[in-house]
């Protein structure tokens, strides 16, 4: 496995406000990376910097081995902005024509077959398509450029459950068949859990969690046991979240080993893990200092 | 085309890859899958369930590790085992004894949910005991 993109000490300032601070990240190639965080955490800023649409204030960003924003990176990176925008008055086939004229690499057959597969009529104006069809059109325009890296900023927001499912299914399949790397920001946690192999949680412009989903899941446990001992245990194990009843408590902890006496230990879901970190923004799960664990896993 | 189609049970709580493994094992046990059958192609599973390919590949690797399936490059993953050791007779016997247990539990006043909870707990203990024995 390789790295699709990497940032080193990346920072971005707008006026006096730092939208991103000291972000060193690597994004695995050929996988979906989930980018999660509250509104205003810096997700869109990070995506636009990776896309080369915005320059970092500090640090460096490389995309598929070249600096982000360089002509070569623009050829191989596709960015689908929030709400998967299309031109409402333009017919579907004219979207393809314009995109073909604007791009050096363009796979007309892939675009046509993909749209036909979703039953999207070429003659229809994009404004007359359903939200799901518009999203599929935007994704098709991005995929037909044959990008090495695809950046998606909350593409699910306007989709109904079926359109969402089809969109994600086609995305992971493109990832698998074409080897495309995807960075995907969303608030829809259960779906992220299913499609993502790598997780980044941003909080107030900084990285709160970064790592392969499997490693993160293996490194956390939910302990359930008597409430009386939970406080002391939470302190000792550095619990990320504690839910207390009067008699029973649940503690989300990192790498607990054998559960303490009286406690049962179970695996956590990615959704539980993300929620716990989003609730406690002082907790972090990061690769060790100096070396990014991500790189060790990817190499 | 594969004889079976995978599904996801959002209420199961089990990781997705394990759900796939269990469904394949159960299909083999129940005769929906036989030796030589092809498991669903990875891209069919990713597009129909909207799950990443790593998850499917992890499930198939585990089935290979268990000696149930075998990956054939460029072709897909195929079942290479027969249903697990207990033949239909042993299976029927075990099912009968479980039926007796269920009747006893019912007679003791347990409802189905409580029986399931009790079974889950015992399975958990059993798992812990066997894992301990291996370690």
Nearest chain A residue to B8, by CA: A194
The alpha carbon of residue B116 is apart from the nearest alpha carbon of chain A, in Å, by 18
d(CA B6, CA A22): 43
Residue A3 contacts residue A26 (beta carbons within 8 Å): yes
pLDDT value, residue A205:
93
pLDDT value, residue A296:
34
Residue with tokens 């039953």: A119
Nearest chain B residue to A178, by CA: B43
B19 CB within 8 Å of a chain A CB: no
Rounded alpha-carbon distances, angstroms, from residue A116 to A110, A149, A168, B45, B96: 10, 24, 17, 21, 53
Query: Residue A14's closest CA among A52, A40, A38?
Result: A40
The alpha carbon of residue B135 is apart from the nearest alpha carbon of chain A, in Å, by 13
Token output for A277: 């970190």
pLDDT value, residue A97:
93
Once rounded to an integer, what is the mean pLDDT over residues A21-31? 94
B5 CB within 8 Å of a chain A CB: no
The alpha carbon of residue B15 is apart from the nearest alpha carbon of chain A, in Å, by 8
Residue B78 contacts residue B72 (beta carbons within 8 Å): yes
Across the interface, whether the CB atoms of A217 and B47 are under 8 A apart is answered: no
Across the interface, whether the CB atoms of A190 and B10 are under 8 A apart is answered: yes
Residue A214 contacts residue A193 (beta carbons within 8 Å): no
A262: number of Cβ within 10 Å: 12
Across the interface, whether the CB atoms of B43 and A173 are under 8 A apart is answered: yes
The alpha carbon of residue B47 is apart from the nearest alpha carbon of chain A, in Å, by 4
d(CA A275, CA A269): 10
Across the interface, whether the CB atoms of A172 and B52 are under 8 A apart is answered: yes
pLDDT value, residue A1:
54
pLDDT value, residue B85:
65
Once rounded to an integer, what is the mean pLDDT over residues A3-11? 95
- pLDDT tens digits for range A113-171: 989 988 999 999 999 999 889 988 998 999 999 999 999 999 888 788 888 898 899 89
Give first-to-last CA distance, chain A, whole Å: 6
Phi, psi of B63 (to 5 degrees): -65, -35
- pLDDT tens digits for range A41-55: 999 999 999 999 999
Once rounded to an integer, what is the mean pLDDT over residues A89-102? 92
Across the interface, whether the CB atoms of B53 and A269 are under 8 A apart is answered: no
Nearest by CB to residue A194, choosing from B42, B47, B50, is B50
d(CA B79, CA B70): 6
Q: Which residues of A touch B8 (CB under 8 A)?
A: 194
Nearest by CB to residue B47, choosing from A31, A169, A269, is A169
pLDDT value, residue A297:
35
Query: Residue A209's closest CA among A155, A267, A154, A280?
Result: A280
Nearest chain A residue to B44, by CA: A173
B94 CB within 8 Å of a chain A CB: no
Partners of residue A266 on adjacent β-strands:
A222
Interface of A with B (CB under 8 A): 31-32, 165-166, 168-173, 175-177, 190-191, 194-197, 214, 217, 264, 267, 269
User: What is the CATH topology of the domain spanning B16-79?
Assistant: Arc Repressor Mutant, subunit A (1.10.10)
Nearest by CB to residue A195, choosing from B10, B13, B51, is B51
pTM (2 decimals)? 0.82
pLDDT value, residue A298:
35
d(CA A232, CA A262): 14
Residue pLDDT tens, chain B, 135 long: 889 999 998 777 788 999 999 999 999 988 889 999 999 999 999 999 999 999 999 999 999 999 999 999 989 999 999 887 666 677 788 889 999 999 999 999 999 999 999 998 888 888 877 776 554
Of A155, A173, A250, which to mutate for an interface test with B (greatest number of B Cβ within 10 Å)?
A: A173
Q: Which of A106-110, A205-209, A289-293, B51-55 has the lowest mean pLDDT?
A: A289-293
pLDDT value, residue B88:
67
Q: Which residues of A touch B55 (CB under 8 A)?
A: 194
For chain A, percent of residues with pLDDT exceeding 90: 55
Rounded alpha-carbon distances, angstroms, from residue A26 to A2, A148, A164, A211, A220: 10, 15, 27, 9, 22
Nearest chain B residue to A164, by CA: B50
Q: Which residues of A touch B51 (CB under 8 A)?
A: 172, 194-195
d(CA B64, CA B80): 9
Residue B60 contacts residue B67 (beta carbons within 8 Å): no
Residue A159 contacts residue A167 (beta carbons within 8 Å): yes
The alpha carbon of residue A11 is apart from the nearest alpha carbon of chain B, in Å, by 31
pLDDT value, residue A295:
34
Nearest by CB to residue A172, choosing from B8, B16, B46, is B46
- Please report, for chain B, the start and end positions of each structural domain, with discontinuous segments joined by +: 16-79, 88-134
Task: Quote the mean pLDDT of chain A.
Answer: 88
């Amino acid at each position: 496995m390789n790295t699709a993109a990497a940032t080193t000490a990346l920072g971005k300032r707008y006026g006096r406000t730092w939208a991103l601070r000291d972000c060193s990240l690597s994004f695995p190639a050929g996988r979906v990376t989930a980018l999660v965080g509250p509104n205003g955490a810096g997700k869109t800023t990070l995506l636009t910097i990776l896309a080369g649409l915005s320059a970092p204030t500090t640090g460096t960003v490389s995309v598929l081995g070249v600096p982000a924003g360089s002509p070569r990176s623009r050829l191989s990176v596709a960015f689908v902005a929030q709400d998967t925008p299309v031109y409402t008055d333009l017919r579907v086939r004219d979207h393809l024509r314009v995109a073909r004229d604007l791009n050096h690499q363009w796979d007309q057959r892939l675009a046509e077959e993909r749209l036909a597969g979703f039953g999207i009529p070429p003659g229809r104006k994009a404004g007359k398509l359903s939200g799901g069809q518009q999203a599929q059109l935007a994704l098709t325009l991005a995929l037909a450029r044959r990008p090495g890296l695809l950046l998606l900023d909350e593409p699910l927001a306007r989709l109904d459950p079926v359109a969402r499912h089809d969109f994600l299914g086609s995305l992971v399949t493109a990832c698998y068949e074409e080897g495309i790397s995807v960075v995907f920001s969303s608030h829809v946690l259960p779906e992220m859990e299913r499609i993502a192999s790598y997780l980044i949680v941003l909080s107030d412009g900084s990285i709160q969690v970064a790592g392969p989903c499997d490693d993160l899941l293996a490194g956390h446990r939910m302990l359930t046991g008597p409430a009386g001992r939970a406080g002391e245990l939470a302190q000792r194990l550095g619990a990320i979240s504690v839910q207390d009843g009067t008699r029973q408590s649940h503690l989300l902890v990192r790498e607990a080993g054998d559960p303490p006496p009286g406690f049962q230990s179970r695996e956590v879901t990615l959704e539980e893990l993300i929620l716990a970190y989003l609730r406690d923004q002082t907790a972090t799960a990061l690769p060790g200092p100096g070396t990014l664990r991500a790189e060790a896993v990817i190499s | 085309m594969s004889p079976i189609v995978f599904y996801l049970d959002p209420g199961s709580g089990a990781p997705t890859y394990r759900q796939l493994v269990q469904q394949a094992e159960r299909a083999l046990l129940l005769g929906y899958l036989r030796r030589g059958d092809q498991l669903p192609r990875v891209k069919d599973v990713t597009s129909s369930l909207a799950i990443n390919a790593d998850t499917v590949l992890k499930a198939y690797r585990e089935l290979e590790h268990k000696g149930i399936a075998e990956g054939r490059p460029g072709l897909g993953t195929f079942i290479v085992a027969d249903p697990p050791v207990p033949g239909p007779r042993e299976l029927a016997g075990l099912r009968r004894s479980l039926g007796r247990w269920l009747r006893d539990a019912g007679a003791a006043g347990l409802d189905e949910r409580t029986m399931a909870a009790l079974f889950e707990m015992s399975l958990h203990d059993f798992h812990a005991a066997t894992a301990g024995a291996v370690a």
